[in-house]
Amino acid sequence: MCGIFACYRHPDVQKFKTTALKMGKAVRHRGPDWSGNWIANDTILVHERLSIVGVDSGAQPLVNDEETVSLAVNGEIYNHRIIRKTLKKPYNFKTHSDCEVIIPLYLQHGIDAPRHLDGMFSWVLHDKVQDRVIAARDPIGITSFYLGRSSKTPGAVFFASELKCLHPVCDDIMSFPPGHVYDSKTDKLTRYFDPKWLVEPDNIPTNPVDYKELRETLEKSVRKRLMAEVPYGVLLSGGLDSSLVASIAQRETLRLNGQAKKRMTATNGTATNGVQNGWEVDGHATGHLVGIDDSNELATVQKLPQLNSFSIGLPGAPDAVAAKEVAEFLGTKHHTFTFTIEDGLNALSDVIFHLETFDVTTIRASTPMFLLSRKIKAMGVKMVLSGEGSDEIFGGYLYFHAAPDKAAFHQETIKRVGNLHLADCLRANKSTSAWGVEARVPFLDKQFLNVAMNVDPAEKMITKDRIEKYILRKAFDTTDEPDTKPYLPDKILWRQKEQFSDGVGYGWIDALKDNAELHVTDEMMKNPKPEWGGDIPDSKEAYWYRCMFDEHFPSYCAKTVMRWTPTWSKQTDPSGRAVAIHNQKYQSPAN
C-alpha cells in the first residue's frame, strides 16, 4: 500500500507545499520506500511509496512526457499488462509500474477510465491543460480513501489515504465512496461500478450455483493477486476463507516454481532480458521469471521458493491450532506468533490511531492483525493475501441463520458488501499498512463478485442440512473427484465460522470487556459527551474506544465511522460467540 495526499485549487499552492509534504509524511507508514510530489497550476500531489511492482522504476507521482497529466496512486492494477497491449494510441511508458496505465486510460476514456481497471486502487489525476482533477476509488473500497474541504479555503478540494493527514487542514471530511469517480468539472461524485446485483437490490437472482465456475473464478482471482516483485505470504487464520486462499496460492506457487525451474534449466540458469516460451525474463541475476498469460490476464513474479503463511493468537487459540493443521496439510512455511492480553491492551490506542474508527468489532479483530503485520514486516515480507469479503458475499456470519427469506438474505449480503470499506476492508488495509505491508483480498475480485452475487440466494441460505457458506465449501470439496488432490482437510473445509476476534483466543474479548469496566463508570455511561450527538455508545467497551478515538481525531471525523451491528438480532455484542447457534457460545442467561 502507498499513501497519497492531494489538494486541488489551493489559493497559494507554493506556500501550502510545506504543509502538504507534512500531511503526506503523516501516512509514510503506508509507503516507507520513497516520497515524491508534483505541482501543476494550483494543484499539488504528494505520494509515499510502497514498492511492490516496478520496484526499480515506479516512483510517483507519475507524469506523462508532455508534463500535462500527473498521477498519484495507492493500489495495484492487475490487468496492467493487458491494458498496455490494447491501448488505441501509443503511449511512452516511463516505468514498469502497474499504475502508470491510468494516464493513457484517462487520455483515451476520460472519466470512464476506472471502468477499465481490474484491481484495488485510490488515485488522484490532474490534467494541467483542462485544470481538471479526476479521483477514483476501487469498486469495493479495498484501499482507504477520503475527500475533504475546508471553510478556510472554500474553493479547494483535498484527497488523502487516511484521516490523519486531512483533519489538520480540513473541517469537513467524508469517506470517498467505493466504485465512484470524482470530477472537478462538475464537483460531483458519480458511480462507475454499477453491476445489476448492486444497483438493483430488489432484483433477486435466480441463477443456479455453478460449482466449477465458482471454484475456477476464485482460483483465477488468487493467481492475479500473486503479481509482485517482492516476498509475499498468506494470512492464515485456519478458518475456511483464509485456508482456501492459502491452498490456491500454494498450488500456484508450486506450479510456478516448477515452470521456472524447467525454464531456468533450459537456459542453463542464465537470466537474459527477453521472452522465452511465453515467459518474460526479468533480468535479475537469480533469474526470476515473470509469468505472462494473456488468457488469464495475470502476471506473476516468483521470488520465494516456498509460500510463507502467518497466524497469530493467544496461546492455544482456536485459529492458531487450525492454521497449523492447514499449513502442514498444504506444505507452506508456517509462522505461528502469539501475543499476550497485555500486548493487545498496550496497542489499543495505536490501533485506533491507525484504523481511524471506534467500531467495536473492527478494533477487536484489528489488534491481533496489527501486531501480526509488524512481525511480518520484520521478516521482510511486504505483501500478503487475506480472506476478507467471503462472509459478506455468502452470508457467513452466524446471524444469517435468522434470515427470514432469500430476498432478505440477498439484500443483507449486498448491504454488507457495500459497507466493507467501513469494516473488514478498512481493518485489513489499515492494520497492515500501519507497518508498510500490503493486503490483497481475492474474494473481492470483480469477476468473482459477479459470479457469486448472481447466484440464487436460496442456494446460500443456512438450513438444517446446510452450514454457513455451504456453496463455497461444496465448490472446493473434491470427494467425488478421485484424480484431484483435496484443497483442504474435511474438518477445515466444513469448520464452523469463527469471527477473527474470537478465533485468536476467547480470552481476548473477555479481557477487553473487563478493562472497559475499569475505564468507564456507570456515571459516564449516563452522561455521554454532547459532541457525540445521537451516536451514543451502547456498551462500556464502545464508550472506551470512542474516548480513545477522540484523543486522536476531532469530533467531525466521527461521521466517517460505521458501527457494525448484526441484523435480525437483539444482541448488542457483535461477537460470533454471542450468537446462540455458536458451538462455544457465551454461557449467559440470554443464551
Please calculate the CA angle 298-139-230 and round it to the nearest 5 degrees. 40
Q: What is the pLDDT of residue 318?
A: 82
Q: Which of 534, 507, 585 is nearest to 344 (CA)?
A: 507
Q: Which of 555, 427, 424, 560 is nearest to 148 (CA)?
A: 560
Does the pLDDT value for residue 90 go beyond 60? yes
For residues 283 and 443, what is the distance between their CA atoms, to the nearest angstrom?
33
**Residue percentage of the chain with pLDDT more than 90:** 79
Contact (CB, 8 A) for 197 and 460: no
Q: What is the pLDDT of residue 319?
A: 84
Q: What is the pLDDT of residue 458?
A: 98
Q: What is the pLDDT of residue 56?
A: 74
550 known member of a binding site: no
Q: Is the dihedral of CA 501, 504, 509, 512 positive or negative?
A: negative
Q: How confident is the model at residue 545 (pLDDT cuts 50, 70, 90)?
A: very high
387 known member of a binding site: yes
Based on DSSP, count helices (H) and strands (E) in the chain, helices before strands: 19, 21
Q: How confident is the model at residue 263 (pLDDT cuts 50, 70, 90)?
A: low
For residues 359 and 351, what is the distance between their CA atoms, to the nearest angstrom?
12
Does the pLDDT value for residue 277 go beyond 80? no
Q: What is the pLDDT of residue 299?
A: 46
Amino acid at 107: L
Q: What is the pLDDT of residue 496?
A: 75
Does the pLDDT value for residue 521 go beyond 60? yes
Q: Which of 526, 523, 518 is nearest to 544 (CA)?
A: 518
Q: What is the pLDDT of residue 228?
A: 84
Does the pLDDT value for residue 591 go beyond 80? no
Does the pLDDT value for residue 405 go beyond 70? yes
Does the pLDDT value for residue 266 go beyond 70? no
403 conformational bin, left if phi > 0, alpha if psi -120 to 50, beta if neither: beta
Domains and their CATH numbers in the chain = 3-194 (3.60.20.10), 199-507 (3.40.50.620)
298 known member of a binding site: no
Contact (CB, 8 A) for 366 and 355: yes
* Residue the block writes with cell 474438518: 491
Q: What is the pLDDT of residue 336?
A: 95
Burial class from Cβ neighbours inside 10 Å (0-12, 13-18, 19+) for residue 581 reads: middle
Q: What is the pLDDT of residue 569?
A: 80
Model pLDDT for residues 139-187, shown as the tens digit of each residue: 999 999 999 999 999 999 999 999 999 999 999 999 999 999 999 999 9
Q: What is the pLDDT of residue 572?
A: 66
Task: Give the mean pLDDT of 65-70.
Answer: 98
Q: How confident is the model at residue 321 (pLDDT cuts 50, 70, 90)?
A: confident
Q: How confident is the model at residue 570 (pLDDT cuts 50, 70, 90)?
A: confident
Q: How confident is the model at residue 542 (pLDDT cuts 50, 70, 90)?
A: very high
Backbone angles phi, psi at 158, to 5 degrees: -115, 150
Strand partners, 337: 312
Does the pLDDT value for residue 42 go beyond 70? yes
**Residue percentage of the chain with pLDDT more than 70:** 87
Q: How confident is the model at residue 265 (pLDDT cuts 50, 70, 90)?
A: low
Q: What share of the chain is helix, strand, coil (3-state, %, to 5)?
A: 40, 20, 40
- And the C-alpha cell for 373? 503485520
Pairing of strands 383-385, 438-440: parallel
Average confidence score pLDDT of the chain: 89
* Residue the block writes with cell 520506500: 33
- And the C-alpha cell for 292? 505472462
Contact (CB, 8 A) for 504 and 322: no
For residues 403 and 405, what is the distance between their CA atoms, to the nearest angstrom?
6
Q: What is the pLDDT of residue 57?
A: 67
Task: Give the mean pLDDT of 484-509.
Answer: 80
Least confident of 368-372, 382-386, 494-498, 586-590: 586-590
- And the C-alpha cell for 557? 471525523
492 known member of a binding site: no
Helix H or strand E segment including 125? strand 119-127
* Residue the block writes with cell 456507570: 522
Residue 113, SS3 per DSSP: helix
CA dihedral 2, 163, 377, 373 (to 10 degrees): -130
Does the pLDDT value for residue 212 go beyond 90? yes
Backbone angles phi, psi at 271, to 5 degrees: -100, 125
Least confident of 294-303, 368-377, 550-559: 294-303
Q: How confident is the model at residue 589 (pLDDT cuts 50, 70, 90)?
A: very low
Q: What is the pLDDT of residue 30?
A: 97
Model pLDDT for residues 445-461, shown as the tens digit of each residue: 999 999 999 999 999 99
Does the pLDDT value for residue 478 go beyond 80? yes
292 known member of a binding site: no
Does the pLDDT value for residue 415 go beyond 60? yes
165 is catalytic: no
Least confident of 65-74, 496-505, 522-531: 496-505
